[in-house]
A = this chain, B = another copy of it.
């Protein structure tokens, strides 16, 4: 257990942006909220999952919604706090710690903000090792743990509890429709987890991974080195493309941001064309129509100069970017993991291939 330092907040924001793979964007606003909390004397207590008692109760939280909507209707940690309280009432037991369902994007910070608000430590783990658009694309669901009860709340006076459901996908669908009805942004608290379950089935050290990425970027910037290259080195990634955003088709539908971005190559990729599909997060990249990366591997679009992650909701014509791929957690590339997070789970008609192997 240790206190997260003020300076680490920025590194975490950069790293969470990269791991966000286009969903949830760089968490600018949430970083500012966390910094403001620090200036008011609050602190994030970071908890190594190994320190969790087996019977500790962990609240797995996130903001559920469409990233584009968060730009006009700011997500509030208070909505998540309400969902956490609702879950405590429903179960008749208090929580001992907070954990984010996903380390990617804004949700990495919401766990911190909720932890500070409720005075609970934040577990250095998540269930995706990145961001994913749907609630069942999570290690706990992949490992077959019960996904209910599931609590949803908004900043007004609305809440929904799903006490039982056939499967994780049903929870996602009922939850998503509820969230759309509440304005496409709501706070959620997923099925409570024990310390033992977190240690056995979560993706561990994901805050550490985000900090590692963020520090690599900050160090490179300070040293005048290339921050994109620093990320690839730190995280065993691959450069997929450098280029200019040529076109973005994007629509917010069914509670998601969906679409496709077209990039024209620069530098070593001059004359080539990259297309990237997305559903909140980037899902498939094609170089001159040849598939070169797909979910659950991480595809991230970075500002070429600063290595700041660019979200699917702010991607626009003219941006000069580097597109990188980072390896997915082994839980995600297991057969059970691919069933819930592989290309077919996103509606594509092909199987997963790691990004190193280029496919036709």
Contacts and interface: CB of A to CB of B under 8 A. Distances in A.
A86 B159 CA distance: 16
Interface in A137-173: 156-166, 170, 173
Interface in A170-199: 170, 173-174, 177-178, 180-182
Give the number of times this chain occurs in the complex, counting copies: 2
A162 B165 contact: no
Nearest to A150: B160
Contacts of A177: 177-178, 180-181
A164 B157 contact: yes
Contact of A178 (B86, B90, B174): B174
A270 to B, nearest CB: 48
Contacts of A161: 160-163
Contacts of A166: 156-158
Contacts of A170: 158, 181
A173 B181 contact: yes
Contacts of A86: 163
A181 B175 CA distance: 10
30 contacts: A86-B163, A90-B90, A156-B166, A157-B164, A157-B165, A157-B166, A158-B162, A158-B164, A158-B166, A158-B170, A158-B174, A159-B162, A159-B163, A159-B164, A159-B165, A160-B162, A160-B163, A160-B174, A160-B178, A161-B161, A161-B162, A161-B163, A173-B181, A174-B178, A174-B181, A177-B177, A177-B178, A177-B180, A177-B181, A178-B178
Interface of A: 86, 90, 156-166, 170, 173-174, 177-178, 180-182
* Across the A-B interface, the 10 shortest Cβ-Cβ residue pairs: A177-B177, A161-B161, A157-B166, A158-B165, A159-B164, A159-B163, A174-B181, A173-B181, A177-B181, A156-B166
Given A86-B163, A158-B164, A159-B163, 8 more contacts: A90-B90, A157-B165, A158-B165, A158-B166, A159-B164, A173-B181, A174-B181, A177-B177
